[in-house]
């Protein structure tokens, strides 16, 4: 078996690896590192959890050991699809490069330009970035990519999902053609193949086994719920989830709970909290500072349950997650693999429990055919009766009145299987149902305000995606600087995926934030005409008095 010491890595890297506790290289590391060290292009077909980050970081650090960075000209570039993944690569870099003097900068949305500019001005050896943010810096004239000797594209299939391929192509064209390229993707969609054929030169192609087949340490279980009424399904699933978490007891040291829709992420998290669980949501619509705080809490153990969307949690490396709960069966089978792969990492044991309702059947079939085995059927927790509440209040204290509340889509709409464009559909005006199915369901539905905000967000995002001609750019720069080109959706073999849109919107919001335009203005923002702020007296004053009060500005 290959040892790290066989891999001709810089001794300082070997020391850091041994301090990280790694004994032997993973298959992708053992195969990719020798080619990378020879300066060859690498095409890695591997998923997260295989050790792929170290497979490019370790040789990069070794190769960059010689030489110095010049101002504004990074020597290497790592592109990751989301801020969280980029931050994770940066963390890995810090671990493996700790005995070297190499410098790095992380360019992600949600962070002020000023600090990032300072680092780049000084010169960095490694630049880790999301594609949109990188191009923003480039367009502001703060960055030159002509010094890039090594370029890594991580999670290219997700870049494709999120509409970043045009950005990636552009970035490739901005770097020298003599660069070394390491390109990673979990799948080889035709579009990804086209990119690799165009921009990689005679790459060493390394394919490692799927995570699902490798992760024998994960115990999977499927809990089938048959709601008495279809409109009861969402509430029943929440009750089953609570019962399952309780049944796992102390064995559940922490867990990620996946929902298909980000709207449900919020509702499920709220519901769990209302039942006394220590839970928080994470999805692409939350502010970056909130996302970071939530993840930090989950990592350090102060948060027990992380309720997540696929985009927000996929690829995140949180080593010790004891349980994964699929609140919904994912509509794309690969997401099942990604989700359960959040537990049972690095040789640990883990448990993945999936809640399914009868309408999930076709998605289950697709998953089971992908993993080539049947998910073992588990029993409902002892004493649990579907449709019966477990007797604990779900209603958050501040919401007890339940007044003035509208409800999110329920029954047929709520429980139907996810369809393309659901993300947008979820933002559409909602039909108000006169009476909630249960008091519990009512208590946790998002308020009308929240949903209206969501819809505004959607409209705002659409507005932001409008072409924008920037006068501060040279004509040749202008050509590609429009945000919608970055976020454009592409024809995709996985056309039914909804999550990526969430992140694309997120990226568009970043685009707005990144340009220091300030927060989006909702309604009239600060410019509310005076008369709207006036209060009107309802006393039985003569009409002329009221008219007087309004015109002179006196309060009634």
How far is it, in rounded angstroms, from Cα 366 to Cα 142? 47
Strand 104-107: give its sheet, edge to edge: 104-107, 126-129, 76-79, 150-153, 180-185, 42-45, 204-207
8-state DSSP, 232: G
Of the pair 49, 74, the CB lying nearest ligand AMP is at: 49
**Is the Cβ of residue 154 or residue 510 nearer to ligand AMP in the bound state?**
154
Q: Which residue's structure tokens are 């004053």?
A: 541
CB of 15 to ligand AMP, least distance (A): 14
Decide whether 88 or 487 has the Cβ nearer to ligand AMP.
Answer: 88
- Closer to ligand AMP by CB, 17 or 222: give it: 17
Cβ proximity to ligand AMP, 208 vs 282, nearer residue: 208
Among the candidate windows 5-13, 42-50, 183-191, 289-297, which touches ligand AMP by CB under 6 A? 42-50
Residue 175 binds ligand AMP (CB under 6 A): no
Compute the least distance from the CB of residue 53 to ligand AMP, in Å.
3
By the rule CB under 6 A, 91 interacts with ligand AMP: no
Is 116 one of the binding residues for ligand AMP (CB under 6 A)?
no
Helix axes 165-174, 131-139, angle to 10 degrees: 50
Among 48, 260, 280, 343, binds ligand AMP (CB under 6 A): 48
Per-position x/- string for 320-359, each x denoting binding to ligand AMP as judged by CB under 6 A, each - no binding: --------------------------x-------------
Do 183 and 198 form a contact (C-beta atoms < 8 A)?
A: no
> Please, what's the largest Cα pairwise distance for the chain?
95
Q: Does 22 bind ligand AMP (CB under 6 A)?
A: yes
Q: Helix (H, G, I), strand (E, B), or coil: what is residue 43?
A: strand
Q: Work out whether the CA dihedral 258, 259, 265, 269 comes out positive or negative.
A: negative
Q: Which is nearer to ligand AMP, 53 or 180 (CB)?
A: 53
Q: Strands of 350-356's sheet, edge to edge? A: 279-282, 305-308, 255-258, 323-326, 350-356, 218-224, 377-378
Name beta bridge partners: 258.
308, 326
Cα-trace Rg, the chain = 26
CB of 108 to ligand AMP, least distance (A): 17
Closest approach, Cβ 147 to ligand AMP, in A, equals 26
Q: Is 52 in the site for ligand AMP (CB under 6 A)?
A: yes
| Binding residue (CB under 6 A) for ligand AMP from 44, 49, 333, 500 | 49
Minimum CB distance to ligand AMP, residue 104 (Å): 17
Q: What is the DSSP letter of 82?
A: S
Q: Which residue in 14, 25, 157, 353 binds ligand AMP (CB under 6 A)?
A: 25
Note whether 383 binds ligand AMP by CB under 6 A: no
Q: Please report how close the Cβ of residue 318 comes to ligand AMP at its closest, in angstroms.
A: 9
317 lines the binding site for ligand AMP (CB under 6 A) = yes
Is residue 531 exposed (0-12), middle (13-18) or buried (19+ Cβ within 10 Å)? Answer: exposed
Stretch that binds ligand AMP, among 47-55, 74-82, 235-243, 545-553 (CB under 6 A): 47-55
Whether 32 contacts 70, CB under 8 Å = no
Q: Name the residue with the smallest CB distance to ligand AMP.
A: 53
Residue pointed to by tokens 């920037």 = 470
Q: Which stretch binds ligand AMP (CB under 6 A): 49-57, 241-249, 436-444, 527-535?
A: 49-57
For ligand AMP, give the closer residue by CB, 20 or 537: 20
Tokens for 432, please give them: 């108000």
Q: Does 26 bind ligand AMP (CB under 6 A)?
A: yes
Beta strands in 320-428 (DSSP E): 323-326, 350-356, 377-378
Q: Which is nearer to ligand AMP, 337 or 444 (CB)?
A: 337
Under the phi-then-psi rule, with left for phi > 0, alpha for psi from -120 to 50, and beta for the rest, what region is 163?
left
Q: What is the closest distance, in whole angstroms, from the C-beta atom of residue 209 to ligand AMP in the complex? A: 13
- Tell me 124's DSSP state: -
Give 34 or 411: the residue with its C-beta nearer to ligand AMP.
34
> Which CA distances in Å does 446 have to 282, 404, 453?
16, 12, 11
Residue of 302, 321, 213, 319 lying closest to 258 (CA atoms): 321
**Chain-centre distance of CA 468, in angstroms?**
27
d(CA 303, CA 305): 6
Q: Does 319 bind ligand AMP (CB under 6 A)?
A: yes
Interface with ligand AMP by CB under 6 A: which range of 18-26, 326-334, 370-378, 472-480? Answer: 18-26
Q: Which stretch binds ligand AMP (CB under 6 A): 48-56, 288-296, 355-363, 492-500?
A: 48-56
- Is the four-CA dihedral 159, 27, 372, 237 of positive or negative sign? negative
Which CB atom, from 73 or from 318, has the smaller least distance to ligand AMP? 318
Does position 54 interact with ligand AMP (CB under 6 A)? The reply is: yes
Pairing status of strand 377-378 against strand 126-129: unpaired
- Contact status, residue 422 vs residue 261, Cβ threshold 8 Å: yes
Nearer to ligand AMP, 54 or 165 (CB): 54
Q: Is 51 in the site for ligand AMP (CB under 6 A)?
A: yes
Q: State which H helix or E strand residue 307 sits in.
A: strand 305-308
Q: Which is nearer to ligand AMP, 16 or 223 (CB)?
A: 16
Chain contacts with ligand AMP (rule: CB under 6 A): 22, 25-26, 29, 48-54, 317, 319, 346
């Amino acid at each position: 078996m290959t040892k790290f010491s066989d891999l001709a890595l810089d001794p300082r890297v070997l020391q850091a690896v041994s301090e990280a506790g790694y004994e032997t290289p993973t298959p992708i590391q053992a195969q990719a590192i020798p080619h990378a060290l020879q300066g060859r292009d690498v095409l890695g077909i591997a998923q997260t959890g295989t050790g792929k980050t170290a497979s490019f970081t370790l040789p990069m650090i070794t190769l960059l050991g010689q030489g110095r960075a010049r101002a504004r000209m990074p020597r290497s570039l790592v592109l990751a699809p989301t801020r969280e993944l980029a931050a994770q690569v940066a963390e890995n870099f810090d671990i493996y490069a700790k005995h070297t003097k190499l410098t790095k900068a992380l360019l992600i949305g949600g962070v002020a330009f000023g600090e990032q500019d300072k680092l780049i001005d000084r010169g960095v050896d490694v630049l880790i970035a999301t594609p949109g943010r990188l191009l923003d810096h480039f367009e502001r004239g703060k960055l030159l990519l002509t010094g890039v000797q090594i370029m890594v594209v991580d999670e290219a299939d997700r870049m494709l999902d999120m509409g970043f391929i045009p950005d990636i192509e552009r970035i490739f064209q901005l770097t020298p053609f003599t660069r070394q390229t390491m390109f990673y993707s979990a799948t080889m969609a035709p579009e990804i193949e086209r990119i690799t054929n165009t921009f990689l030169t005679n790459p060493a192609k390394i394919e490692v086994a799927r995570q699902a087949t490798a992760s024998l340490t994960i115990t999977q279980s499927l809990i089938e719920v048959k709601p008495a009424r279809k409109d009861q399904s969402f509430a029943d699933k929440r009750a089953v989830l609570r019962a399952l978490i309780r049944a796992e007891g102390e064995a559940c040291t922490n867990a990620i709970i996946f929902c298909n829709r980000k709207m449900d992420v919020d509702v499920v998290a709220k519901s769990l909290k209302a039942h006394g669980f220590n839970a928080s949501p994470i999805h692409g619509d939350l502010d970056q500072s909130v996302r970071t705080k939530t993840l930090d809490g989950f990592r350090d153990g102060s948060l027990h349950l992380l309720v997540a969307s696929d985009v927000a949690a996929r690829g995140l490396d949180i080593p010790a997650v004891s349980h994964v709960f699929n609140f919904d069966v994912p509509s794309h089978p690969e997401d099942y693999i990604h989700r359960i792969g959040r537990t049972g990492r690095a040789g640990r044991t883990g448990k993945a429990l999936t809640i399914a309702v009868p309408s999930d059947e076709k998605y289950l079939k697709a998953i089971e055919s992908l993993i080539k085995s049947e998910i073992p059927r588990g029993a409902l927790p002892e004493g649990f009766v579907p449709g019966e509440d477990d007797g604990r209040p779900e209603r958050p204290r501040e919401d007890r009145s339940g007044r003035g509340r509208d409800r999110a889509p329920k029954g047929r709409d709520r429980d139907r299987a996810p369809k393309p464009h659901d993300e947008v559909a979820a933002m559409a005006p909602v039909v108000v149902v006169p009476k909630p199915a249960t008091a519990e369901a009512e208590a946790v539905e998002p308020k009308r305000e929240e949903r209206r905000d969501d819809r505004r967000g959607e409209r705002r995002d659409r507005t932001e995606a409008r072409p924008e001609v920037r006068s501060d750019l040279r004509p040749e720069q202008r050509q590609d600087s429009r945000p919608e080109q970055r976020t454009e959706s592409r024809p995709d073999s996985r056309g039914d995926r909804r999550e990526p849109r969430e992140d694309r919107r997120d990226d568009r919001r970043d685009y707005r934030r990144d340009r220091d335009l300030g927060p989006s203005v909702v309604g009239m923002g600060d410019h509310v005409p005076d008369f709207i702020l006036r209060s009107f007296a309802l006393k039985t004053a003569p009409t002329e008095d009221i008219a007087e009060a309004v015109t002179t500005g006196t309060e009634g």
